[in-house]
Amino acid sequence: MKKTGAEIFVESLKQEGVKVLFGIPGGVVLKIFDVLHQQKDVEVVLTRHEQGAAHMAEGYAKATGKVGVALVTSGPGMTNIVTGLADAYMDSVPMVAFTGQVSTNLIGNDAFQEADNVGISRPCTKHNVLVKDVRDLARTIKEAFYIARTGRPGPVLVDIPKDVSTEKAEFKYPDKVNLRGYSPTYDGDKHQIKQAAEEILKAKKPVIYIGGGALFSDAAHEILEFAEMTQIPVTMTLMGLSAFPGGHSLSMGMLGMHGTYWSNMAMHYADLVIAVGARFDDRVTGKIPEFCPEARFVHIDIDPTSIRKNVEAHIPIVGDVKTVLRQLNVVLRSMDGNQREIKELRRPWQKQIAEWKQAHPLKYHQDEKSTKPQYVIEELYKLTHDKGIIATDVGQHQMWAAQYFKGAKPRTWLTSGGLGTMGFGFPAAIGAQKAYPGELVVCITSEGSFQMNLQELATAATYNLPVKIVLLNNGFHGMVRQWQDLFYDGRYASSYLGKIPDFVKLAGAYGIRGLRALKPAEVEPVLREGLKHKGPVLMDFPVYPFENCYPMIPAGAAQHEMVLEDPPKLTKAQRGRVAKKKPEEGEGVLPA
């Protein structure tokens, strides 16, 4: 029996096991939404902005490992998801975005709400297709999901013209895909793996460096086995956090620009770095010529373009992280069963790292007057511990969360790493909450990031998605202000936000519970009450506005040149300058 394009679309989604999609209707996708409305298998979450829909699909995908789905209309609907696509592309998030398009006979005519969706999205998608014939629709959807979730995952855009959704064709969902130009490599080269194993057993100062690829490959178990067997300390990128238990004795926490002192020092003095699903981003390497000067690199990645892009790989292994580590673990086990010897060999190195850790731990000073942002995050961590999922926005709060949260379970840490998208956190938290309605989902954000997508409060309220928002409110674009402090003589160009809404009232306007902690002593009770609340809740924490995030590798510096605290002479003058500008009533929350 023949079906319309819209029916084929919905049937195909069911075949792919899609339970929920995020989106907003519009002229050219009305037929599809009409069909969606008349069935129950695929739920539609109506967002308030298409960017929100894209980040929700990302949050859903990052939390579940399944493909996130967004459906938006042509023209502005599509252009509004571009940030989400670019974000998903940078962070390898499996996602399929369906966009409406004007009817095929109107394409190229500057029709109402027309945009070149495929052209605009080309550089920020793994693949994209304009479906010109309804008979190609089912196959294209099958391929889109396949491409999005296999290999190095990424976003795929499928552009569906209005007439394709209304015309009819025979529906048969293909059993398998046939893409002759696409076949990702999963198994690692045996010879390379053996060579890597030999170097790993020989190395005196090795480090395992884990990126986001480990999470999408579902390799947490293999990494744990690998690290424990070889007794090699582990550091994670911002994207790799939660792939290895943060509380494990071998964990050094995050590395890079705001990573821990000891993980960066370990990298700098390492003789062997085993990169696992990581891409040597500039925020990790700092100054490339001085990056890990003594190290040889084993680089495991499914994407050949990641290898030798930024740094030399002495032993490149192209393949799926989980598969390669399994192969590697087998080889290692066969080569050396003597655990005591390995432990002995690594002891001096572990001792050295422990000394670094002791010399410069993460630190801040909490007094009785104004709340320090790190304090809120530490208190939150004490209360939630290994429970639930954390989504963050982008900026100082994100770095503090990365430093103080020691995620134990994979996929419980959702953040925008590559693109650094402010406004990502809250919708991503909603997406994750939709996937796991019964779990605790906390969004750690700030007044700057949150205001970039706060319209989704309505979505959280409508679907009663009980996201707990922890908002660190310092009245500034904090990371920008920090750089201005350090590199622009404290001239706060456009980083001070001026009028900031009363977030408690704002939450109230959406029918959401709002709470505020004005003093450090109120932080813990507010968190406790907020986390206990059944529905969504917004907790506003006015914090000390001039706290800077340390340690820090200044841009262009090398790993071992970390700055550990505020340079003393700068701060006084700068703080004096800002203190002169007393905020007026209702303006930014600057605690006395």
Partner 1 sequence: MERIISVLVENKFGVLARVAGLFSARGYNIESLSVAPTLDPTTSMITIVTVGDDRIIEQIMKQLNKVVEVLKVVDMTETSYLDRETALIKVHTRPEHRDEAMRIADIFRAKIVDSSPTTYTIEVTGDVDKVEALINMLQPLGIKELIRTGRVAIAREAKVPSRRESQAAKA
**Terminal Cα-to-Cα distance of the chain (whole angstroms):** 72
- Choose which of 17, 293, 304, 508 interacts with partner 1 (CB under 8 A): 304
CB of 355 to partner 1, least distance (A): 38
Nearer to partner 1 by C-beta: 125 or 415? Answer: 125
Question: What single DSSP character describes residue 470?
Answer: E
The answer to the question of residue 309 lying near partner 1 (CB under 8 A) is: yes
Verify cis geometry, omega within 30 degrees of 0, for the bond prior to 304. Answer: no
Segment contacting partner 1 (CB under 8 A): 94-102, 179-187, 193-201, 404-412?
179-187
309 is catalytic: no
User: Any contact of residue 432 with partner 1 (CB under 8 A)?
Assistant: no
* 198/220 Cα distance (integer angstroms): 23
Is the alpha carbon torsion for 26, 28, 30, 36 positive or negative? negative
* Chain centre to alpha carbon of residue 102: 33
| Minimum distance, C-beta of residue 309 to partner 1, in the bound complex (Å) | 6
C-alpha to C-alpha distances, 546 to 373, 379, 400, 447, 513, nearest whole angstrom: 10, 20, 14, 15, 28
**CB under 8 Å to 548, separation ≥6 — which residues?**
396, 482, 485, 486, 566
Confirm or reject binding of residue 438 to partner 1 (CB under 8 A).
no
* Residue among 44, 104, 174, 182 that touches partner 1 (CB under 8 A): 182
If the CB atoms of residues 128 and 235 are measured against partner 1, the closer one turns out to be 128
Q: Is 162 a catalytic residue?
A: yes
Catalytic, 112? Answer: yes
210 vs 302, which CB is nearer to partner 1? Answer: 302
Q: How far is the C-alpha of 3 from the C-alpha of 167, rounded, in Å?
A: 8
434, containing H or E segment? helix 425-435
Interacting residues of 191 by C-beta distance below 8 A, sequence separation 6+: none
Closest CA to 415 of 427, 551, 210: 427
**Is residue 130 a contact point for partner 1 (CB under 8 A)?**
yes
Q: Does 275 bind partner 1 (CB under 8 A)?
A: no
CA distance linking residue 372 with residue 370, whole number of Å: 6
Environment class of residue 112 by beta-carbon count within 10 Å: exposed (0-12), middle (13-18) or buried (19+)? exposed
Task: Extract the runs of DSSP E, i.e. beta strands, from 462-580.
Answer: 468-473, 513-516, 537-542
Residue 36, CA distances (Å) to 15, 24, 367, 436 in order: 14, 12, 55, 22
Least distance in angstroms from the C-beta of 414 to partner 1? 26
Site for partner 1 in 228-247 (CB under 8 A): none
From 96-104, 121-129, 239-247, 366-374, span contacting partner 1 (CB under 8 A): 121-129
Q: Is 22 a catalytic residue?
A: no
Which one among 2, 34, 112, 179 touches partner 1, defined by CB under 8 A? 179
Q: Does 122 bind partner 1 (CB under 8 A)?
A: yes
Among 199, 271, 303, 336, binds partner 1 (CB under 8 A): 303
Handedness of CA 287, 236, 88, 507 (dihedral sign): negative
Choice among 162, 322, 357, 468 that is catalytic: 162
How far is 208 from 236, CA to CA, in rounded Å?
A: 8
Residue with Cβ nearer partner 1 (10 or 144): 144
- Going from the C-alpha of 318 to that of each of 222, 277, 301, the distances in angstroms are 17, 10, 5
Burial of 103 (0-12, 13-18, 19+ CB in 10 A): middle
Question: How many residues touch partner 1 (CB under 8 A)?
Answer: 18
- 127 near partner 1, rule: CB under 8 A: yes
CA distance 481 to 494: 9
Q: Establish if 108 lies at the interface with partner 1 (CB under 8 A).
A: no
**Which residues inside 486-525 make contact with partner 1, applying CB under 8 A?**
none
Structure tokens that stand for 518 in this block: 């004005």
Three-state secondary structure string covering 191-205 = HHHHHHHHHHHHCCC
393 CB neighbour count, 10 Å cutoff: 29
- Rank residues 62 and 127 by Cβ distance to partner 1 and give the closer one: 127
Applying CB under 8 A, which of residues 17, 76, 108, 123 lies at the interface with partner 1? 123
With CB under 8 A as the contact rule, the residue among 17, 119, 508, 511 that binds partner 1 is 119
Q: Is 50 tagged catalytic?
A: yes
Q: Which stretch binds partner 1 (CB under 8 A): 1-9, 304-312, 354-362, 440-448?
A: 304-312
In the bound state with partner 1, the residue whose beta carbon lies nearer, of 248 and 309, is 309
Q: Which of 113, 195, 352, 455 is catalytic?
A: 113
Between 107 and 509, whose beta carbon lies closer to partner 1?
A: 107
Question: Which of 11/114 has CB closer to partner 1?
Answer: 114
Q: What are the φ and ψ backbone dihedral angles of 27, each rounded to 5 degrees?
A: -40, -55
From 56, 479, 552, 562, active-site residue:
479
Kindly give the pairing relationship between strand 43-46 and strand 315-318: unpaired
Site for partner 1 contains 180 (CB under 8 A): yes
Among 38, 178, 305, 358, binds partner 1 (CB under 8 A): 305
Name the minimum Å distance from CB 122 to partner 1: 6
Considering only residues 391 to 420 of the shown chain, the ones binding partner 1 according to CB under 8 A are none
Residue 105 interacting with partner 1 (CB under 8 A): no
Q: Does 436 bind partner 1 (CB under 8 A)?
A: no
Strand-pairing partners, residue 82, are none
**CB of residue 356 vs partner 1: minimum separation in angstroms?**
33
Q: Which residues ranging from 142 to 171 are in contact with partner 1 (CB under 8 A)? A: 147
Answer yes or no whether residue 118 interacts with partner 1 by CB under 8 A. Answer: yes
Least Å distance, CB 181 to partner 1, is 5
Q: Which stretch binds partner 1 (CB under 8 A): 104-112, 118-126, 455-463, 480-488?
A: 118-126
> DSSP label at 162?
H
Residue 588, SS3?
A: coil
Q: Is 496 helix (H, G, I), strand (E, B) or coil?
A: strand
Residue of 11, 50, 58, 143 marked active site: 50
Q: Which is nearer to partner 1, 24 or 317 (CB)?
A: 317
Please, what is the minimum distance in Å from the beta carbon of residue 308 to partner 1? 7
Of the candidates 112, 339, 565, 581, the residue annotated as catalytic is 112
Q: Which chain residues interact with partner 1 by CB under 8 A?
A: 118-119, 122-123, 126-128, 130, 147, 179-182, 303-305, 308-309
Catalytic residue numbers, as ranges = 50, 112-113, 162, 479
